[in-house]
Structure 1
Amino acid sequence: MSGSPSSASAPPGPLDPATMRDVLGHFVSGVVVITADGPDGPIGFTCQSFASLSLDPPLISFSPSRSSSTWPRIREVGSFCVNVLAEDHEHHSAGFARSGTDKFAGVDWTPAPSGAPVLNGVSAWIDCTLWNEYDGGDHTIVVGRVHDLGADSDRLPLLFYRGRYGLGRDSAEEEAR
């Protein structure tokens, strides 16, 4: 695989998912935890595919995997909070990515106006209601209507780049040696 596009005019064949994941990993993303106040207690999951969508009306989007067992439970609630993880929240990213565990064990939080958990120490939080959903292949594209939000300018966000947290400068320098 080269770093420049092919000049061939033939239509592209099927893409290798591993190659696609590797190439798209060059885009730095933040990491969020989507939470809700479920009927049996707080629920949440880690998500990297988050974006601001519109200012008028105020909308955001994120894309959970179709195999997610948590998103359908949050969908039923109809409201949720996007927690933008801070740079020292790798443990929250890993903890909320697990299935079948009490993801909130030992996690301090306060309720957003909707009742959804705002994890203590996040860089920002965005309280939403479900606006719409769209088919996104092996993911669902979720659009949320923003009702309230807040940020702590002193808390830098957790970044994810090329399969690692942070920008990977130290790792890239070591690999170059």
Structure 2
Amino acid sequence: MSAEALSPVTSTTSGIDAEQFRAIFRAHPAGVAVVTLHDGHRPVGFTATSVISVSAEPPLVAFSVSTGSSSWPALSASRQVVINFLADDQASLSARFAASGVDRFADGGWRPLPSGVPVLDGCSGWIEAAIHSRLPAADSRIVLVEAMAAWGTGRQPLVYRDRSYHKLIEYEI
């Protein structure tokens, strides 16, 4: 990896201001996931709409997280995560894992995998992954992980767009 790839992204020379940038991404739909991990004492998790497939060979996935997130200290030290892809009836679960100052696991609906990392019940699928790297990007980190196990149900995914949740409908061409 080049030194340039490891340099943090801290500023921009574009003419787009932050509000314009946010507006563009509010209009862009994204699948909803909850990233879970175990910090050695308790389960930790947060909602993520930034999950992307990077490569199938090897199976790499990435997501971003703010270093100001309450989950960042645990994630910065963790070696494994589970990316739980939420089903279209799990909007309340997404909201719970996006909320601050609550015990996100108190209502149950999860179980530990043999690795100890929590997996959420009822998801459309999940990927258990080993953390490969954490790349600095402004006040966030792009976390690159390698999938070790995956499971899917075929359930419809939860989608987030313009500050609200949506279900997909089939569209035939």
- Kept in 2, the 8 Å contact 1:113–1:127? The answer is no
Identity of aligned residues (%): 36
- Kept in 1, the 8 Å contact 2:126–2:151? The answer is yes
For 1:145, the equivalent position in structure 2 comes to 146
Q: What count of residue pairs does the alignment treat as equivalent?
A: 157
For 1:74, the equivalent position in structure 2 comes to 75
- The TM-score normalised by the length of structure 2 is 0.84
Aligned partner of residue 63 in structure 1, secondary structure = strand
Extract unaligned runs of 5+ from structure 2: 1-12
Equivalent position amino acid for 1:131 in 2: H
Deviations along 1:47-103, one digit per CA (max 9) or x if unpaired, are: 111001111111100000121120220231311100001111111111111222211
Larger Rg: 1
Structural mapping, 1:1-177, within 5 Å: 12-13=14-15, 15-153=16-154, 155-166=155-166
CA–CA separation in structure 2 for the residues paired with 1:140 and 1:91 = 26
CA–CA separation in structure 1 for the residues paired with 2:22 and 2:124 = 26
Aligned partner of residue 86 in structure 1, secondary structure = coil
Aligned partner of residue 166 in structure 1, secondary structure = strand
- Kept in 1, the 8 Å contact 2:156–2:168? The answer is no
- Kept in 2, the 8 Å contact 1:75–1:130? The answer is no
- Kept in 1, the 8 Å contact 2:159–2:168? The answer is no
- The TM-score normalised by the length of structure 1 is 0.82
Residue 112 (structure 1) shift:
2.8
Instruction: Mark the CA change 1:106 to 1:132 in structure 2 (over 3 Å): closer, same or farther.
Output: same
CA–CA separation in structure 1 for the residues paired with 2:136 and 2:77 = 18
CA–CA separation in structure 2 for the residues paired with 1:143 and 1:24 = 21
CA–CA separation in structure 2 for the residues paired with 1:60 and 1:46 = 16
CA–CA separation in structure 2 for the residues paired with 1:95 and 1:25 = 20
CA–CA separation in structure 1 for the residues paired with 2:41 and 2:90 = 25
Extract unaligned runs of 5+ from structure 1: 1-10, 170-177
RMSD: 1.9
Aligned partner of residue 156 in structure 1, secondary structure = coil
Equivalent position amino acid for 2:74 in 1: R
- Kept in 1, the 8 Å contact 2:39–2:78? The answer is yes
Deviations along 1:89-141, one digit per CA (max 9) or x if unpaired, are: 11111111122221101121122342211110001100011101112223210
Residue 12 (structure 1) shift:
4.3
Runs of 4+ in 1 over 4 A off after TM superposition: none
CA–CA separation in structure 1 for the residues paired with 2:58 and 2:89 = 32
